[in-house]
Chain A
Amino acid sequence: MSEIRKNIADFAEKDRSKWIEKARYRRENRNWLRKSKRIAVRVLSTLKEKGMSQTDLAETLDVSRQQISKIVKGKENLTLKTVAELENVLGVVLLDIPETEVEMEVEASYSWPGAFEPKTEKNVTKRVKWPKSGRQKWNQSDNIYRYRKSA
């Protein structure tokens, strides 16, 4: 190790930045955190439109101001009950289930047992049968399953 690297390593605090732990948490919980943040964006813009404060919202929902703070920071793993209550109070849809056709992306690590095993060649795309109906494609370049299911 060069002298300057050794010097800075010696000079630095013993404890490392907490960022790496937080980044790992954000990555491991990405799917629900993304939804939570999008809900937060909609809640914040609706509060603004309606001229409501977060305290008003907390009082209307009979929850603590801290819980509303977690919701608008996109950190809350919301229950469906809470989402429904927020929708009722704010008069906006926060979660919607498409009725006819759904297209979604699923990370490869979430595939079901016995699913298509990726080949090693780059950019291989292969269709496999989804367990019930529909079809699915996997692209090695981004390690994402793309699944399209018709109603």
Chain B
Amino acid sequence: MKIVAIIADPEPTLYTVQYHGNDKDEFDIAFDDWNDPEWLRLFFEENETDLDAYNKFHGTNYTIDEAVLKTLDDAEKLEDLLYDIACSGSEYLQDMFEQLHEKEDDYYVLQKSKAKRSWLRLYAIRIDEHLYVFTGGAIKLTRKMNEREHTKLELDKLFQVKEFLKRKGLVNKEAFEKLELGL
């Protein structure tokens, strides 16, 4: 696993991972997929039952074509937001990312985090204030991540990246020790 910078100027802010054997990093993969009508159509065809359930739950009526168009539009807006942050060097990342588990209201070291726009999800490990490592993206149509293979995979990646960062000592040591001691 490699760590690849996304936003590193003027301060290191957002990183991602690139898995062994992949020629693209996870951030690049997520936005390439979400900008690809063919990939999106295949995704919604494979998850048509979930799209139907989503429609029923949210009172919407997206066909596969409409779901593809909506995702293209949402991805464009999300990418714009991140591009603006990347170009301005501003530190709004922590405003974008929230705790993965909704019951958590504190920030802590190596916390699993997410940013979302509609059904699009960006998953990341929070290393420090305004410093995140992106682990992967997903289209989440179900309530829980472990209900479907593609979102369960993102949970596994969050765990793997967290362990990798810990193993490589890429943590705020002082804060990590406090966390371990339960302070």
User: Quick check: B32 and A1 within 8 Å, CB to CB?
Assistant: no
For residue B27, CB closer than 8 A to chain A, the reply is: yes
Docked Cα-Cα span, A44 to B79, in Å, equals 24
User: Quick check: B172 and A4 within 8 Å, CB to CB?
Assistant: yes
For residue A97, CB closer than 8 A to chain B, the reply is: no
| B84 CB → nearest A CB, Å | 10
Binds A, one of B64-72, B93-101, B148-156: B64-72
Most buried by B among A5, A17, A20: A17
User: Quick check: A8 and B15 within 8 Å, CB to CB?
Assistant: yes
User: Quick check: A9 and B37 within 8 Å, CB to CB?
Assistant: no
- A1-B12, A11-B3, A12-B8 are contacts. A22–B36 as well, Cβ < 8 Å? no
User: Quick check: B83 and A20 within 8 Å, CB to CB?
Assistant: yes
With an 8 Å Cβ cutoff, the count of chain A residues facing the other chain is 34
A24-38 interface bits toward B, Cβ cutoff 8 Å, 1 = contact, 0 = none? 101100100000011
Q: Chain B interface mostly helix, strand, loop or mixed? A: mixed
B8-24 interface bits toward A, Cβ cutoff 8 Å, 1 = contact, 0 = none? 10011001101000001
8 Å CB interface, A32-76 against B: 37-38, 40-42, 44-45, 69, 72-74
Please give me the residue from chain B that is nearest to A69 by CB atom: B38
For residue A7, CB closer than 8 A to chain B, the reply is: yes
Docked Cα-Cα span, A42 to B5, in Å, equals 36
For residue A89, CB closer than 8 A to chain B, the reply is: no
8 Å CB interface, B35-89 against A: 35-39, 41, 64-65, 68-69, 72, 76, 79-80, 82-83, 86
Contacts of A74 in B (CB 8 A): 35-37, 72
For residue A151, CB closer than 8 A to chain B, the reply is: no
User: Quick check: A22 and B28 within 8 Å, CB to CB?
Assistant: yes
Docked Cα-Cα span, A23 to B99, in Å, equals 26
Contacts of A20 in B (CB 8 A): 6, 83, 86
- A13-B3, A13-B4, A41-B69 are contacts. A8–B38 as well, Cβ < 8 Å? no
